Amino acid sequence: MSQAIRPTWVHATILGAFCAGFGVALALTDDITKAPIKERALEDKMNSLGQVIPRSIHDNNPVTDTVKLPNPKAGGHGAPAETDIYRATKDGQVVAVAYEYMASGGYGGPIRLMLGVAPDGKLLGVRVISHKETPGLGDKIEAAKNEWITRFTGLSLGNPPAEKWKVKKDGGQFDQFSGATITPRAVVSGIRQGLEFFAANSSRMMEKK
Partner 1 sequence: MSASYGRIVKDGLWENNGVLCMLLGMCPTMAMTGTGTNGLGMGIATAVVMAASNLMVAMFRNYVTHEVRIPVYILIVAANVTFVDLAMNAWMHELYKVLGLFIPLIVSNCLPLARLEAFAAKEPVLPSLVDGTFMGLGFTFALTVIGLVREAIGQGTLFADAALLLGPWAKVMEMRIMPADWGILVLILPPGGFLIAGLLVVAKRMIDLASGKEIKMAGAHSV
- Residue ranges that bind partner 1, judged by CB under 8 A: 1, 3, 6, 10-12, 14-15, 18-19, 22, 25-26, 29-30, 32-33, 36-37, 40, 43-44, 134-137, 178
- Least separation in angstroms between residue 100's CB and partner 1 is 18
30 versus 82: smaller Cβ distance to partner 1:
30
To the nearest whole angstrom, how small is the minimum distance from the Cβ of residue 114 to partner 1?
A: 16
119 φ/ψ angles, rounded to the nearest 5 degrees: -55, -30
Sequential DSSP letters for 52-114: HS-GGG--S-TTT-EEEEE-TTTTGGG--SEEEEEEEEETTEEEEEEEEEEE---TTS-EEEE
Bond preceding residue 160 cis, omega within 30 of 0: yes
**Rounded to the nearest whole angstrom, what is the least distance from the CB of residue 37 to partner 1 in the complex?**
5
Q: Nearer Cβ to partner 1, position 6 or 209?
A: 6
CA dihedral of 130, 135, 141, 147, whole degrees rounded to 10: 130
Considering beta carbons, is residue 29 or 93 the nearer one to partner 1? 29
CA-CA distance, 10 to 12, in Å (whole number)?
5
Q: How far is the CB of 12 from partner 1 (least distance, A)?
A: 8
* Of residues 153 and 181, the one with the C-beta less far from partner 1: 181
Q: For residues 20 and 29, give the distance between their C-alpha atoms in angstroms, rounded to a whole number.
A: 14
- In the bound state with partner 1, the residue whose beta carbon lies nearer, of 95 and 141, is 141
**CB of 50: closest distance to partner 1 in angstroms?**
16
- Residue 196 half-sphere exposure toward CB, CA atoms < 13 A: 12
What whole-number distance in Å separates Cα of residue 110 and Cα of residue 183?
10
Q: Which is nearer to partner 1, 137 or 157 (CB)?
A: 137
CB-based contact 159:121 (threshold 8 Å): no
Structural contact between residues 179 and 140, judged by C-beta atoms closer than 8 angstroms: no
CB of 113 to partner 1, least distance (A): 19
